[in-house]
Structure 1
Amino acid sequence: MRLDAIRGRQVLVDGEFRAATLLLRDGRIAAVQPFGEVVDGAVLDAPDGTFVLPGVVDTHVHVNEPGRTEWEGFRSATEAAARGGVTTLVDMPLNAIPPTTTVESLELKRGAAQGQSIVDVGFWGGAVPGNVADLEPMWEAGVFGFKCFLSPSGVEEFPPLDRDEFLAALREVARFDGLMIVHAEDAAILAQTPALSSRSYRDFVASRPDASEVAAIRQVIDGARETGARVHVLHLSSARALDVIADARAEGLRLTVETCPHYLCFSAEEIPDAAPEFACCPPIRDSGNRDALWQALDEGLIDCVVSDHSPSTAAEKSRGDGDLQQAWGGVSGLQVGFGAVAHEAARRGIGPDRVSRWMSRNTADLVGLDRKGRLEVGADADVAIHDPAATWHVDAERLAHRNPISAYDGMRLDGRVTSTVLRGRLVAGHDLDPTFGRLVSRPDLGDDR
């Protein structure tokens, strides 16, 4: 259903809620008018008490197609996104086969997504040993930046960079002013830390210590200082790295940082043993650590919140019969992420305007999508309507994710997204058209492929 306007009592405009009518034309916001504006055509009236927010921009999603489509594919992932208020996602270069490490593999990804995407989809490239020469061609082909690992990724086809390889890739990325995004865990520290077979979540956390994150983030910062490259720390779980990050920011280095809903909503002491749906790398840490991450978000030291949706089949998750060292490491939460963070934020006295900044505006800015993540004239008419009074009992079996396994299963959330609009078209729950989502590239390329 195409809309001509969206009207609400609490519309997030210029960082504040106000009663307003968004006039829409050709998929964009043409004007922001008073609430009582008379409009001809199709109008979506947001119920009183709901919030009209920019669509979520999730810049950390593992779709896995082609190659591991049984884990997740574009059709299921983008439906989950739409139902959770996500109007744009950026796909990670692994765990598809082949990984997105060349222009040719990027085109395979685009071909897989074409005609299967309910929301807009962009792509990260990958930096792996031996592909420095492929980075600029991928950048020119439209990827938003390059993901690398400093420790084993969990899949053989996407190996980590050693120190020399990391610096070489950073120098190349700095040369054309690209963006390097880093899974920051130190390989040497992980190798020296006992990782005993165990069903205990406490043992799993101990096998991925804070020191590994801190050391790897120091390496990222040192590389940024030496090369001048833009760098982004992925899925920060350890608050012990925050002082290092603050010092780098004070130094003026071009460093941004994200964390994830599962680090903000769960704590290690509450997670039962032999529950592989919570196993992820880096791990969920204790409640004091969780509180420190919230404080860092409040202070602006952490920029973004993203799902890091990393699903797998039940067989991969249950591998080892509860031995968390054998289970696939990743949390499946694309559809739930915004609702879970908004719920936890409300408990802490934080409003949906702040959550929207972390999950829509700042993520869009990270990848340069200046028409996404905001409700202003000229922006894409991407909207999520959030009802804080709607109770959501999360049932993994009812999520659109391909595999019904999620750490959020059984949670009771106060609030949920009730309507999602993509470029002026009401999608979630109404018109799940897999041909409507666009494949988006860096905007400086001047197209909307």
Structure 2
Amino acid sequence: MSERKIYSKRVWVENKLQPATICFNKAHINAIHFEKTNDAEDFGNVVIMPGVIDVHVHINEPGRTEWEGFETATQAAAAGGTTTVIDMPLNASPVTTTLQAFQEKLDSSVGKMNVNVGFYAGLIPGNTPHLEALIQAGVIGVKCFLTHSGINEFPNVTEKDLDEAMPIIAKYNLPLLAHCELYDTEIDCDFENNPTSYQHYLASRPKKWENDAIDLMIRMCRKHNCPVHIVHVASAEALIKIATAKKEGLPITAETCTQYIYFNAEDIPDASCIYKCAPPIREKANNDQLKNAFSTGVLDFITTDHSPAPPSIKEMETGNLKKAWGGIAGIQFLLNGSWTALKNTMTLQQFIPLVTSKPAKFIKSDKKGSIAIGKDADFVIWNPEKTSIVKEDDILFRYKISAYVNQNLSGVVTETIVNGETIYKNKSIQSKNKGQWLLQK
């Protein structure tokens, strides 16, 4: 591939938006000129920035490819400006808890990666002896649940399991990612008799579950000095706990997801299972605190926790929130959904690192997340000021069911470039299978 040169008045270089021409080939950025060169494609005033990195997605292949799969998930990611995703060890089958299962997942992704893909291992009771082999094979981190995951192949861990596993994970300085909810059998909100009520669902998974689980993970982090990452923080009451742990110097990071800052419980209708996720989307006052936690550094970055399911499993016809699969399909809307949610509370310059350099730091990638000579040629070209209403026809993940349908989002992607190749442009996929595995060295 010959060298390509792209110019805009707003290129994210050296942690600011400024006029620049980026020169790159299939692999890397070769040069940066802080002016428009004669032979550069001129993108005017739209933003050119590093490709978005989503470190929390469920692609579900192999085994549950009818739920999603690498082909559709990575096309949708590219359509949203995301150039790298990290896949969770569930809800694939087999779950990624052994080296053999990891190899099956790698094999299943071949020829289907339209963006770069990394992988997490899973921690479940009894699989601690498998962790070192998985880590040495290149997983980015290890994921566990403190409550039932939703599938029986991936049971939750106990404190005993954490005591066994965390010293091994700490030895390799990888993060242990934790779904933080601790089930309390004393909760009685009569959800059983009100299965289509969102407020009853919300009450069935209170903030206390999340707060208690985060307390546990902070204590275990302190005990083993193992990096801990709190996924999808939804309880604003937990923010002070995370902030205190960080001030103590503990190796703790935390994320929230687009849905927890874009949607609010007050606006969610009953019998609408597209909004069901765990922890649940909480009230506006709570979610406004989550938004403010980015500026203080308590929350490190944003993800989607893309967790799709077929319409029947999502109970789209019945509206039964108690039976429905819990998960938001949102891999395509990390950039524009999050920017829409945050544009009134922060500048674009404050926002960009939350979806680029900060997740890149988390996955220890020195080649992604910023525009500099020698970095990977992954870019998104987009207009943050332009708005667009999401239509079902725009969606490239497998099922066109998503809470983002009919939402008016700020930020329209012009082009997505992965490893120097245009993957998405003019509202369509231009080239396939240009992604690569992202394995920890």
Q: TM-score range by the shorter chain?
A: over 0.9
Alignment partner for residue 274 of structure 1, among 260, 271, 276?
271
Q: How does 1:339-350 map to 2 (within 5 A)?
A: 339-348=336-345, 350=346
The answer to whether the 8 Å contact 1:2/1:425 transfers is: no
Alignment partner for residue 223 of structure 2, among 214, 222, 226?
226
In structure 1, what is the equivalent of residue 395 of structure 2?
399
The answer to whether the 8 Å contact 2:421/2:434 transfers is: no
Equivalent AA in structure 1 for residue 88 of structure 2 = M
Structure 1 residue 3: Cα displacement: 5.3
For 1:268 and 1:277, the matched residues in 2 are separated by 13
Query: What TM-score does the superposition give when structure 1 sets the normalisation length?
Result: 0.94
The answer to whether the 8 Å contact 2:115/2:433 transfers is: no
Q: How does 1:44-443 map to 2 (within 5 A)?
A: 44-46=41-43, 48-187=44-183, 189=184, 192-194=187-189, 195-196=191-192, 197-318=194-315, 321-348=318-345, 350-429=346-425, 432-442=430-440
Structure 1 residue 391: Cα displacement: 2.2
The answer to whether the 8 Å contact 1:3/1:425 transfers is: no
The answer to whether the 8 Å contact 1:5/1:24 transfers is: yes
The answer to whether the 8 Å contact 1:319/1:328 transfers is: no
Structure 1 residues 278-326: Cα deviation after superposition (integer angstroms, max 9, x where no partner): 0000000000011100110111110010010000000011178112111
SS in 2 for 1:136: helix
Structure 1 residue 353: Cα displacement: 2.6
Structure 1 residue runs without a partner (length 5+)? none
For 2:299 and 2:350, the matched residues in 1 are separated by 13
SS in 1 for 2:384: strand
Determine whether 1:27 maps to 2:27. yes
The answer to whether the 8 Å contact 1:185/1:215 transfers is: yes
Structure 1 residues 129-152: Cα deviation after superposition (integer angstroms, max 9, x where no partner): 100011111000000010000000
SS in 2 for 1:299: coil
Shift in CA distance, 393/3, structure 1 to aligned 2, threshold 3 Å: farther
Equivalent AA in structure 2 for residue 309 of structure 1 = H
Structure 1 residue 62: Cα displacement: 0.3
Structure 1 residue 2: Cα displacement: 6.7
SS in 1 for 2:358: helix
SS in 1 for 2:382: strand
The answer to whether the 8 Å contact 2:70/2:109 transfers is: yes
SS in 1 for 2:437: coil
Equivalent AA in structure 2 for residue 433 of structure 1 = S
SS in 1 for 2:280: coil
Shift in CA distance, 393/230, structure 1 to aligned 2, threshold 3 Å: same
The answer to whether the 8 Å contact 1:267/1:286 transfers is: yes
Shift in CA distance, 26/396, structure 1 to aligned 2, threshold 3 Å: closer
Stretch of structure 1 that moved more, 195-204 or 78-87: 195-204
Structure 1 residue 344: Cα displacement: 2.1
Structure 1 residue 191: Cα displacement: 6.3
The answer to whether the 8 Å contact 1:2/1:426 transfers is: no
Structure 1 residues 154-180: Cα deviation after superposition (integer angstroms, max 9, x where no partner): 000000001111221112211332220
The answer to whether the 8 Å contact 2:422/2:431 transfers is: no
Stretch of structure 1 that moved more, 408-417 or 421-430: 421-430
The answer to whether the 8 Å contact 1:125/1:147 transfers is: yes
The answer to whether the 8 Å contact 2:2/2:25 transfers is: no
Shift in CA distance, 93/190, structure 1 to aligned 2, threshold 3 Å: farther
The answer to whether the 8 Å contact 1:280/1:329 transfers is: yes
What RMSD, in angstroms, separates the aligned Cα atoms of the two structures?
1.6
For 1:6 and 1:264, the matched residues in 2 are separated by 33
SS in 2 for 1:20: strand
Number of residues paired by the alignment? 437
Equivalent AA in structure 2 for residue 111 of structure 1 = D
Structure 1 residue 79: Cα displacement: 0.3
For 1:416 and 1:353, the matched residues in 2 are separated by 17
For 1:149 and 1:323, the matched residues in 2 are separated by 24
For 1:147 and 1:88, the matched residues in 2 are separated by 18
Equivalent AA in structure 2 for residue 67 of structure 1 = G
For 2:433 and 2:334, the matched residues in 1 are separated by 24
